[in-house]
Amino acid sequence: MSKLASFFGQKVKVINLGIPSFAEDLRQQGVEAIHTEWRPPAGGNKKIQALLARVEVWQGQVKAAKGAR
């Protein structure tokens, strides 16, 4: 069975980023959900965000290369 089909039937646990009521609704239904007080990265500074994005791409490439070894 595929990985996705095996996921069906498992208990859903949620990380919520953004609208807080989505996490509140889930908790009211007894679903484990953690709400994140998310805010734009790098204090909203677009130049630093662009640099961060480049670092993240680089980190992803390093991770993929390690995985391939």
Contact residues for other proteins (CB under 8 A)?
1-5, 7-23, 25-26, 29, 31-32, 34-41, 43-45, 53, 56, 60, 63
Q: Which is nearer to other proteins, 13 or 51 (CB)?
A: 13
- Encoded amino acid at 3, one letter: K
Q: Which is nearer to other proteins, 10 or 65 (CB)?
A: 10
Q: Which is nearer to other proteins, 43 or 68 (CB)?
A: 43
CB of 20 to other proteins, least distance (A): 7
DSSP secondary structure string for all residues of the chain: --HHHHHTTSPP-EEEES-HHHHHHHHHTT--EEEE----GGGG-HHHHHHHHHHHHHHHHHHHHHHH-
